[in-house]
Amino acid sequence: MAARADPPGDSLDTWFRHYQQLAVTGVRSVAVAQKITLHLDRFRVFFLESYGHERITACLRRDVQAWQHALIAQGLVAATINNRLASLSACTTWIHAQAPHLFPAGDPAKGIGDLGLPLCTLPSRCARRSGARASRTGMSVAFRRSSTPIMAVTLPHGIWSRWPRISRSS
């Protein structure tokens, strides 16, 4: 039970290492554990640069949101940002369960949504995979293994949207 005792101090680094030691190492693969370490360290550096300290008790939801916005401003893709936030969220959820007093306003990563991922950003690859047929209107009809047609539209920003085609036979 001594391993579960709160680590000394009010430091993000101390708690992040404590989380990794008790909840990540030996549970996740080495590669995943290294990514989690990297993500948590990036948040810690962001927090330290923003406030000049790394007191975990001062970490609020707005700080996690500010990090999310900073990652967006760096031009990272949504999947990368979501992955980094997932690592932080898992850690803060674990810390909050172990020592709720550390986050007076609650888990700082709770309720921060993922960024939406585009359905497909490469229309030609989508068309090849789904067997879509192109038309002059920019719309395609694809038949998956079933006979249900799927409509796909190339939007101005290059992202395809797909939805089941509605039959007008009544």
pLDDT of residue 129: 52
Give tens-digit pLDDT for 53-105. 999 999 999 999 999 999 999 999 988 999 999 999 999 999 999 888 899 89
Q: Measured between alpha carbons, how far is 33 from 108 in angstroms, rounded to an integer?
A: 22
| pLDDT score recorded for residue 151 | 52
Helix 78-98 vs helix 12-19: crossing angle, to nearest 10: 90
Task: Please check whether residue 5 is in contact with residue 13, taking contact to mean a CB–CB distance below 8 angstroms.
Answer: no
Read off the amino acid at residue 17: R
pLDDT above 70 for 44: yes
Report DSSP state, residue 1: -
pTM value? 0.66
Tokens for 154? Answer: 């190339």
- pLDDT value at residue 59: 93
**3-state DSSP helix/strand/coil % of the chain, to nearest 5:** 50, 10, 35
Tens-digit pLDDT profile for residues 103-160 = 989 999 888 777 766 555 445 555 455 554 444 444 444 444 445 555 555 544 545 4
Q: What is the CATH number of domain 2-102?
A: 1.10.150
| Residues carrying CATH 1.10.150, the chain | 2-102
Confidence of residue 10 (pLDDT cuts 50, 70, 90): confident
